[in-house]
Chain A
Amino acid sequence: ETGVTQTPRHLVMGMTNKKSLKCEQHLGHNAMYWYKQSAKKPLELMFVYSLEERVENNSVPSRFSPECPNSSHLFLHLHTLQPEDSALYLCASSQSGREQFFGPGTRLTVL
């Protein structure tokens, strides 16, 4: 695998389920990101993990919980989601402030 990979690619879950999204980067980068992409809205940064920064967007509900065990892996744990959380969730990585490389995304549908 090369670049940034994400699993699963598609996920359908009920509001009471617990699931996790996984992201892995094979680029040796030092920062990883979770974005939410909804139709006709800007890319919404949810979380950034790097050695220097850990940023959590204050507007992200606590039902989204990130985990970054090392510089190559990033998880997004989901629990008791709402239908409005349905979106494309994109993971990205970068080397410091340079180009962000995106994964293919996970298309999440909350029923």
Chain B
Amino acid sequence: GENVEQHPSTLSVQEGDSAVIKCTYSDSASNYFPWYKQELGKRPQLIIDIRSNVGEKKDQRIAVTLNKTAKHFSLHITETQPEDSAVYFCAASRADSNYQLIWGAGTKLIIKP
């Protein structure tokens, strides 16, 4: 069945450095790829998303890149800050549904002061 693999499961970076989280999806017909951030004890919230008709999208310190040929997409966070510490989830849309997402297992990002 369809799946999304997310790596790494834990990422520790020095404050001010960049962080990159990668996801690979299996359904070549997926066309929507959101990234959610879940801070400790809080609900997941969308931070950025990308559709299959673009290769890159940027919003201040965060960016997402998509390689449809290789079926992978990545989240890039530059100039990391303590408030970036959280679990990040990637997801890919299911081709046979207008509503369902296939989720990655999550990456715990730790920003070291």
Contacts and interface: CB of A to CB of B under 8 A. Distances in A.
Contacts of A94: 99
Interface residues of B, number: 21
Contacts of A53: 97-99
Contacts, number: 53
B29 interface: no
Interface string A74-111: 00000000000000001000101101101111000000
A102 B44 contact: yes
Interface in A5-40: 31, 33, 40
A102 B99 contact: no
Interface in B79-113: 89, 93, 97-101, 103-106
B88 to A, nearest CB: 12
A41 B65 CA distance: 24
Nearest to A40: B105
Interface of A: 31, 33, 40-43, 45, 48, 50, 52-53, 55, 90, 94, 96-97, 99-100, 102-105
5 contacts: A41-B105, A42-B4, A42-B89, A45-B101, A104-B42
